[in-house]
Amino acid sequence: MAAGVGIATDRVLFLGPTIPKEVKCLKKLLPSMEKQLYRGLLKVAVADFEGREVNPSVYDELRSRSADPDSVDEVYSALHTLLRAALKLPSSVLKQEAFREDLDALRIPPEFAGDLVSVVFGSRRDNIDQHSLEQGPKYPTLASLKWRVDVTISTNDLSRVLEPAIQMEMETSDGEVHTFEVQRAEFHKLRHAVATALKEMEELEKKVRKNATAFAAVKTTL
């Protein structure tokens, strides 16, 4: 049973196990809303997700079309929450058919659900994803990594073990250069950790591809 929806389903909706309170109002408010007003609200939401500036007068004009402006605010808030949750999921994870089923579970009328599907899976998706990436946190990336073996051939400290060390020089994309020394044993640990991480990523990718293939096969037989 989908949480907070009242319709049986064997999986969790794209919104998560708990349906946001503001989204629940859509099943009550949408049937009485004019279709053009609804589409106007969607356009404002899409513009926001794309990072485009919207003149406040545009939204004010949409509110003025309704006898109950507060209900317009509720619908816009619900649409924004719903789309934000859907757009966070890659299209490889949230399939169009599953999204339609979830909208039906939320009791969103089909004539309104179609426009939501067009936003999430239509031509504007690339612009939305690009803006999301640009707005995300940006960290320097590795530009180059150099290393060399440094061997101490003499020392005044007789108690020091003359063991080769690895001199590392790392340059990041912001132009910073970081140098540090790693003992041979630590270098081998680092090398092993990187190799292990790469192997685990490869195994994870195989599992994802296997699950996607199995899911597609199940859908075909239904």
Report the predicted TM-score, pTM, of the whole model to 2 decimal places.
0.59
Task: Give the model confidence (pLDDT) of 155-189 as tens digits.
Answer: 565 555 567 888 889 999 889 999 988 888 888 89
Per-residue pLDDT at 43: 95
**The pLDDT value given to residue 4:** 44
Coil/strand/helix, residue 182: strand
pLDDT bin (cut points 50, 70, 90) of residue 136 is confident
Note whether 195 and 178 are within 8 A (CB): no
Please give the backbone phi and psi of residue 64, each rounded to the nearest 5 degrees, phi first. Answer: -70, -15
Mind listing the pLDDT tens digit for each residue in 46-58? 999 999 998 999 9
* Separation CA 133–CA 80 (nearest Å): 18
Query: Binning pLDDT at 50, 70 and 90, where does residue 204 land?
Result: confident
Helices (H), the chain: 21-24, 26-29, 35-49, 56-64, 69-87, 96-105, 110-121, 125-135, 184-221
As a whole number of angstroms, the distance between CA 10 and CA 2 comes to 8
- The answer on pLDDT for 13 being more than 60 is yes
Long-range contacts of 214-220 (CB under 8 A, 24+ apart): 219/97
